[in-house]
Amino acid sequence: MSLNIQKEVDSPSSLAGIPSGIERLPPLTPVEQEVIHIFVQTAQVLGLPKSVGEIYGLLFCAMEPLNFDEIMRRLKISKGSTSQGLRFLRNIQAVKTIYVAGDRRDHFVAELQLRNLSAGFLRERILPHLENGQERLANLHELLPQNPSENCKILEERVGYLSTWNKKARGLLPWVLKFIDS
């Protein structure tokens, strides 16, 4: 019974009346492949693993929530990559889980609001780097007086630039989000 519900909800191949066994999943359509490819490229620009781009791309195209196994098998990636990729995507809130009645498994959908996607990415990947940099800059200021007096002034000025850059970058983040909202 729960198996029936699952198949009706999740699996287009249920139309073909394939019974329990190892269910056949449709291969990626050309459009899906192309969308996934775009996200894989984007992932690489953002310094994220290919598998993260693949998973997000697949969910982006999906008409209904997909479960773990469907993601893994349609993309032909391993359990490990699927698990870690989904975890990352959930962390940055690029993907959320959906409750499906009568099915024990997690189901996933892509966040489709650019604003939320960006916010998650900035918060989880960029902000930590900037905050870490801020700490390092504070330490650096302690270190500066040890320098040969001649260079000291100019170096101090340059380290000052660095602090300004860091501050500017942190100030930029909320503006970026505001721009995206507009």
Partner DNA sequence: CATATAGTTCAATTTTTCTTGAACTTTGGC
Partner DNA sequence: GCCAAAGTTCAAGAAAAATTGAACTATATG
By CB under 8 A, name the binding residues for its own copies: 29-31, 34-35, 37-38, 41-42, 44-47, 60-61, 63, 112, 114, 125-126, 129, 132-133, 136-137, 139-140, 143-144, 146-147, 151, 154-155, 158-159, 161-162, 164-165, 168, 171-172, 175-176, 179-180
- What is the Rg, in whole angstroms, of the alpha carbon atoms belonging to the chain? 23
Smallest distance, its own copies to C-beta of residue 105, A: 23
DSSP category for residue 15:
G
Smallest distance, its own copies to C-beta of residue 114, A: 5
Q: Which two tokens stand for residue 162?
A: 């660095």
69 touches DNA (CB under 7 A): yes
Cα distance between residue 114 and residue 176, in whole Å: 11
* Three-class secondary structure of residue 97 per DSSP: strand
* Three-class secondary structure of residue 55 per DSSP: helix
Residue with tokens 């969308």: 35
Provide the binding-site residues for DNA, judged by CB under 7 A.
Answer: 2, 44, 47-52, 67-69, 76-87, 102, 104-106
